[in-house]
Structure 1
Amino acid sequence: MALNTSADAPLPVGEVSRLIGGWIDRLGAVWVEGQITQLSRRPGAGVVFLTLRDPSYDISVSVTCFRQVFDAVADVVSEGARVVVHAKPEWYAPRGQLSLRAVEIKPVGIGELLARLEQLKRTLAAEGLFAPDRKRPVPFLPQLIGLVTGRASAAERDVLENARRRWPAVRFEVRNVAVQGVHAVPQVVDAVQELDRLPDVDVIIVARGGGSVEDLLPFSDEQLIRAVAACGTPVVSAIGHEPDSPLLDLVADVRASTPTDAAKKAVPDVGEELERVRLLRDRSLRTVQGLLDREQRGLAAALARPSMERPQRMVEEREEAVDALVERSRRTLRHLLDRADSELSHTRARVVALSPAATLERGYAVLQRENGAVVRAPGEVTDGEPLRARVAGGELGVTVGPQPPQPREPEEPQ
């Protein structure tokens, strides 16, 4: 709707900005294609800011979106990527600035392809196909190696030449297949499954040279990924060059950056192994020699001790100690015996002095009645009673006679 304005009746800038905002609000959501030239993702912020540019007209427009909207494509979208944005135009009246509020972002071309691969990667990872605990080690010295690669390709030549240069006796079971195009996936799957069924194959190498993302798509196919995951034989992935990373690298037991690297990881180098054996042998010899030298020094030190040079010296020292103890024991025993003999003599003398026999030797006698009772007083016997008198020389029989008169005791003076 046209506005009636003139030089005499102009509209204020704010009114013009407000009217433009009203017209833009009525535009509704639109799909916009462009190239991301600036990208701002502040840590912790819930909004992502980016600038969408149209290279044909050299025009740029600011775009904002919630973090969850951008996170859906964050793995495959970066600065320089072309995208299609479903957004609602917004007009910021105070600055007179147009911006877009995005509700959905889709990558264009390769970006869209990478987004699908990223979704497949998340699905397979959730199933555990990429788990580290599923990885199996490659045998140290495989006797037969299965090789899946293109016919007469540089990848086949690199694997065979480098492997045989490292270990000339190694053998290969080669399966030539298409490594790009519509027939690549079924042929690679059939070759891997066939080699896995061979009992003599110790490891399988899937090799291909570098190429574009489209060329390497067969090695990110879900059918091939599941076939490799189901293999009982360890699988080495050698697809493309260092920057290339198809999904086969994630499910394989070993990931090699190039076909040449695959040969190095699958086959040991005979020269390196011989050198390692030589180093280990020299190290063992040094260890044994060091052990022998240490024990020899210890033995020499033990033999240099006085007890080993003259062993009888210890016996002689102990003999002198034993002789001294024996002499001391004898002296002690003699002293104890002498003291005991002296004590015994003194005791015998006391016993003899106190013995009734000694009294009898001095001329005394002991009178006993016939029943053995000792007579202690004259009144205890009667006249004519036979008694026994015991003297020092033996016994005598005696008879009690009349008792003599007892002397009168002197009277006390009055």
Structure 2
Amino acid sequence: MTGPGTVLGRLYRAAPVVQDAVLAAALLLPDLFLFSDFALPHVGVADRLLTVGYAVLGYAALAVRRRAPGAVFCCVWAHALGGELLTAAGTFDYSPTLALLAALYTVAALRNARPAVLALVSVAVPVALSVRAALADVPDAEQLTSLLGVACFYGLLNLEVWAVGRWVRAGRAAAVRDRLAVARAEEAVLSERARTARELHDVVANAVTVMVLQAGGARHVLRTDPDRVENALDQIESSGKTAVAELRHMLLVLRTEGERAAAEGPGFGLADLDPLLNGVRQAGLIAHLRVTGVPAPLTRNVDLTAYRLVQEALTNAAKHAGPGAVTVVRLDWHGADGRLAIAVEDDGRGFPSATRSDLSTGHGLLGLRERVAVCGGTFEAGPVGDDGFRVAAELPTAKLSPQEVGA
């Protein structure tokens, strides 16, 4: 099926050089009929062929106008100037106009302000020659009126075409800015979604792991050691309350975005390691804390990241190494270097657990790596020794104002 719609659709999808060639061909005939003697009956065939041949030379350059707008404008400008000079010399009667307007528009739409203004100013030369040629046969009494009319026509025509080009350029720039703003907004949404997912994982995974391990241990001693069962139930209740409190805090932050900084408060940090260690100890893990160096202040984000790293590493040790495994948490403060080194290492020699293999989500270490990278730190995790596993990171410290210090 063919038709105007189909032809226009194919032209829209064609390469720019094809589109510009079609534009050049579409402007060529109106230019010849309106601004030359091509259509006059007294003009001979040879003169018409000469006029057409010269016109084609100028319009051919328009085929690459978008690829090289400045060079094309110079070629078309020289073509227009040559046409005026040849007309003045009596070779033919032709004032190239539409090709120059197309080249002027292209420079205005695709180039910066300086070359666009230079192009507009330079157009005055061939325009002045066109005005002069138009007044050649006008009686002296009508020279002033004709001069004003012709000069206004050519001047306003070029100025309007140039202004449309600049307006199109401004619109394209605004569209680009809008697309960048949308892309940044989408990136921020994805980043916030990932941050929320990490927080949910860290809150829920630790609490659920401790609760499941405690429940499993309590079940085995349900009839033989009631005191231990009661202790396990207390720990399950405490872990559940802590998880609910953290989830409530997270929801508060997400719902009050405008007051986010105030809502976050100090949050969790290294100062909360003792309750965390006690929780995994109650689940059967043998956990030790070793601190060397002089503690330095941390930003809230870095402090929370350090806490989450220890929390996730201890949770993994409880899940994979099992109750009875020995885990050591080391905090090495390097004040001179402005770094905090954290390492959590287990020996992997706990008691077998039938439930712990089902507790892993597979996203914990990935989330830790992302957290540490956001803080400007380094992260590593992998097996150590025969059966153990080690999670380590280095995080930056700094001298902060009291408002910036977390904890």
TM-score category by the smaller chain?
A: under 0.3
From the CA coordinates, give the structure whose radius of gyration is larger. Answer: 1
Higher relative contact order (CA 8 A, sep 6+): 2
Give the TM-score of the pair, scaled to structure 1. 0.23
